[in-house]
């Protein structure tokens, strides 16, 4: 199983100023998402948000080593954004990363800021941006929605990996050349992105078939119920 | 969340009883000190490890129990071991093998800091139940919406695992008998169904929680941590900080 995001970094991979910088970026981003999410999170959406978070959590458990201190895995940001919206989605992925770091020791505590920036903020934003741009295709039918989910998840994974490369360029250890890092990380994440795209497409397709009312991306696209004859009271 | 937890080791020691918000802040501060330690100050890493070992003794967590769970780090560090062979720069001879000096140092840096970081989070997880951790985050003024989603997430992890188990059982009952990795194919194809089944069950779980008076926040029990608890909890991080400061005097 996989989720959409690029990578977890462990402690000690980035230097302290970079760590602090991206911690600040993450805190501001999550605070904005928390404010915006309030409008989206009603009683019906709360269990969906919790389940999306749990699902992303489960899929992020599969890790592949990419470089020393870096592992790649599914990210889940596109899945979260399509099902619960970008704000709640970013919150869900952030929560997954925080709980993983605190309870499961996955990803360094000090790299949390950079990890949240990549996977929860950049990745989710990219995935949702793609999905929004292709919304008309997604609203056309199941095949369209599945295709859009796949593309959004693939873009999400690669863009999140790109975020990591930028952070590494700013404050990474100079033992690796930037070119090697970029090529390795992006190459691996194109492959992961395809896996991620398949899982996201399967999941979104199943949800849209059973409960289209739960898919955030499809809000406002449902055809109004057609009433024939005026006798119905 | 009163269920057994893989990484939690229930107990009744001073570390277990310490207020969770203190433990979260202390763990973060400690790892920050570890990351700030210069990589050539080898003795400081020994101090950090000794401080952690002191906490394990007080918390009665056996090192073997931690070591088994620290293997989660393996994918991160396995490539750190290759660095001495792959990096350039001045070479040193170790046991007749020519290794890159920079590579050795960078690999050591990632290995030491990553391992200490994992051991710190494991110590936090071993002595703090998931429920207490949520209470701790709530007392640190984490927005209540985040607490709501996190609570549901931890509950739903078990829902998903149970539904996956039920679906596997149903497949086996119908004569599906895959071995080892071949199970993955069927699991991947049914991932969408798993999601819907988990959602519908999760919806009922949520309604049951709401009808029992759940408002999205963890019920607050106990009083705010006294200054004494903060001092005791932050002592290891403070000592680690002193060690980091000491590295400027004795590099």
pLDDT reported for residue A202: 87
Neighbours of B83 (CB within 10 A): 26
User: Is A118 domain-assigned?
Assistant: yes
Per the structure, the complete domain to which residue A55 belongs is given by 4-215
User: Is A230 domain-assigned?
Assistant: no
When CB atoms are compared, the residue of B72, B121, B191 closest to A109 is: B121
Question: pLDDT at residue A48 above 70?
Answer: yes
Residues B128 and B160 in one domain: no
pLDDT reported for residue A106: 58
Residues B244 and B159 in one domain: no
User: Is B59 domain-assigned?
Assistant: yes
Q: A42 touching B, CB under 8 A?
A: no
User: Is B96 domain-assigned?
Assistant: yes
Q: Give the DSSP H/E element, type plus range, for residue B198.
A: helix B191-211
- Residue A188 sits in a domain of what CATH number? 1.10.1760.20
Helix axes A16-40, B144-173, angle to 10 degrees: 80
For chain B positions 172-211, those within 8 Å of chain A (CB to CB) are: 187-189, 191-193, 195-196, 198-199, 202-203, 205-206, 210
Residues B66 and B169 in one domain: no
Longest dimension (CA), chain B: 70
User: Is A227 domain-assigned?
Assistant: no
Three-state DSSP string of chain A? CCCEEEEEECCCCECHHHHHHHHHHHHHHHHHHHHHHHHHCCCCHHHHHHHHHHHHHHHCCCCEEEECCEEEEECCHHHHHHHHCHHHHHHHHHHHHHHHHHHCCCCCCCCHHHHHHHHHHHHHHHHHHHHHHCHHHHHHCHHHHHHHHHHHHHHHHHHHHHHHHHHHHHHECCCCCHHHHHHHHHHHHHHHHHHHHHHHHHHHHHHHHHCHHHCHHHCCCCCCCCCCCCCCC
Q: Work out the average pLDDT over A108-133.
A: 86
Does this complex have an ipTM over 0.90? no
What percent of chain A shows pLDDT beyond 70?
A: 81
When CB atoms are compared, the residue of B28, B145, B191 closest to A37 is: B145
pLDDT reported for residue A39: 80
pLDDT reported for residue A136: 85
Q: How confident is the model at residue A7 (pLDDT cuts 50, 70, 90)?
A: very low
Query: Nearest C-alpha of chain B: how many angstroms from A213?
Result: 13
Decide if A214 and B199 are in contact by the 8 Å CB cutoff.
yes
Which residues on neighbouring strands pair with residue B14, listed in sequence order? none
User: Is A221 domain-assigned?
Assistant: no
10 Å CB burial of residue B173 (0-12, 13-18, 19+) is exposed
Q: A175 touching B, CB under 8 A?
A: yes
pLDDT reported for residue B96: 60
User: Picking from A47-51, A81-85, B20-24, B214-218, which range would have the lowest pLDDT averaged per residue?
Assistant: B214-218
Sequence-distant (≥ 6) Cβ neighbours of residue A94 within 8 angstroms: A26, A30, A33, A116, A120, A121, B146
Each residue's pLDDT tens digit, A148-200: 999 999 999 889 888 888 887 887 665 566 777 778 778 878 888 888 888 88
Query: Nearest C-alpha of chain A: how many angstroms from B75?
Result: 5
Q: Which residue has the higher pLDDT, A178 or A75?
A: A75
Please calculate the CA angle B138-B48-B95 and round it to the nearest 5 degrees.
Answer: 135
User: Is B159 domain-assigned?
Assistant: yes
Residues B50 and B83 in one domain: yes
User: Is B34 domain-assigned?
Assistant: yes
Mean pLDDT of all residues in chain A? Answer: 79
When CB atoms are compared, the residue of B107, B157, B191 closest to A203 is: B191
- Taking alpha carbons only, the member of B233, B59, B23, B209 closest to residue B133 is B23
User: Is A231 domain-assigned?
Assistant: no
Q: How confident is the model at residue A90 (pLDDT cuts 50, 70, 90)?
A: very high
Q: Which residue of B has its CA nearest to A200?
A: B192
User: Is A208 domain-assigned?
Assistant: yes
When CB atoms are compared, the residue of B35, B72, B203 closest to A106 is: B72
In a mutational test of the A interface, the residue from B130, B199, B241 whose CB has the highest number of chain A CBs within 10 Å is: B199
Residues B125 and B236 in one domain: yes
- How many residues are there in chain A? 233
Q: Which residue of A has its CA nearest to B110?
A: A12
When CB atoms are compared, the residue of A34, A65, A105 closest to B143 is: A34
Residues B194 and B175 in one domain: yes
Q: How confident is the model at residue A35 (pLDDT cuts 50, 70, 90)?
A: confident
- φ, ψ of residue A14 to 5 degrees: the values are -110, 155
- Give me the half-sphere count of Cα atoms (radius 13 Å) on the Cβ side of residue B246: 14
Per the structure, the complete domain to which residue B90 belongs is given by 14-137+223-249
Ordered mean pLDDT values, 10 residues apiece, chain B (251 residues): 62 84 88 80 87 89 82 63 61 64 74 83 86 86 84 86 87 78 69 87 89 80 75 83 78 64
Indicate the number of domains in chain B.
2
pLDDT reported for residue A150: 92
**A196: which chain B residues are within 8 Å (Cβ-Cβ)?**
none
User: Is A228 domain-assigned?
Assistant: no
For chain A positions 195-214, those within 8 Å of chain B (CB to CB) are: 198-199, 202-203, 205-207, 209-211, 214
Residues B98 and B27 in one domain: yes
């Amino acid at each position: 199983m996989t989720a959409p995001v690029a990578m977890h970094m462990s402690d000690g991979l980035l230097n302290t100023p970079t760590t602090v910088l991206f911690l600040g970026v993450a805190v501001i981003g999550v605070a904005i998402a928390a404010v915006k999410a309030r409008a989206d999170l009603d009683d019906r959406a709360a269990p969906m948000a919790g389940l999306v978070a749990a699902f992303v959590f489960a899929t992020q458990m599969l890790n592949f080593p990419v470089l020393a201190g870096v592992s790649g895995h599914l990210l889940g940001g596109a899945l979260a954004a399509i099902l619960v919206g970008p704000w709640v989605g970013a919150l869900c992925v952030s929560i997954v990363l925080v709980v993983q770091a605190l309870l499961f020791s996955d990803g360094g505590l000090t790299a949390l800021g950079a990890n949240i920036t990549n996977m929860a903020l950049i990745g989710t934003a990219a995935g949702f941006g793609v999905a929004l741009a292709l919304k008309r295709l997604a609203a056309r039918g199941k095949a369209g929605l599945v295709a859009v989910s796949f593309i959004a998840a693939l873009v999400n994974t690669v863009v999140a990996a790109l975020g990591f490369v930028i952070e590494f360029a700013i404050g990474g250890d100079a033992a690796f050349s930037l070119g090697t890092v970029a090529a390795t990380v992006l190459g691996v994440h194109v492959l992961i992105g395809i896996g991620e795209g398949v899982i996201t497409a399967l999941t979104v397709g199943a949800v849209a078939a059973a409960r289209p009312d739960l898919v955030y991306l499809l809000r406002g696209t449902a055809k109004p119920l057609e009433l024939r004859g005026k006798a119905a009271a | 969340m009163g269920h057994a937890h893989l990484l939690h080791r229930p107990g009744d020691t001073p570390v277990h009883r310490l207020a969770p918000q203190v433990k979260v802040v202390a763990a973060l501060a400690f790892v920050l000190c570890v990351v700030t330690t210069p990589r050539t100050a080898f003795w400081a890493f020994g101090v950090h490890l000794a401080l952690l070992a002191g906490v394990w003794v007080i918390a009665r967590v056996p090192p073997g129990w931690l070591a088994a769970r620290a293997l989660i780090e393996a994918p991160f560090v396995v490539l750190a071991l290759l660095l001495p062979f792959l990096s350039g720069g001045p070479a040193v001879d170790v046991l007749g093998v020519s290794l890159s000096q920079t590579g050795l140092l960078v690999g050591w840096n990632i290995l030491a800091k990553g391992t200490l970081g994992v051991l710190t989070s494991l110590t936090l997880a071993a002595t703090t139940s998931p429920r207490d951790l949520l209470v701790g985050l709530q007392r640190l003024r984490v927005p209540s919406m985040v607490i709501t989603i996190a609570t549901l997430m931890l509950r739903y992890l078990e829902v998903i695992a149970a539904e996956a188990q039920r679906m596997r059982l149903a497949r086996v009952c119908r004569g599906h008998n895959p071995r080892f990795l071949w199970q993955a194919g069927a699991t991947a194809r049914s991932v969408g169904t798993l999601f819907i089944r988990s959602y519908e069950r999760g919806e009922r779980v949520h309604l049951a929680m709401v009808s029992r008076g759940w408002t999205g926040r963890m019920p607050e029990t106990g009083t705010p941590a006294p200054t004494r608890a903060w001092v005791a909890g932050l002592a290891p991080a403070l000592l680690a900080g002193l060690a980091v400061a000491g590295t400027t005097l004795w590099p």
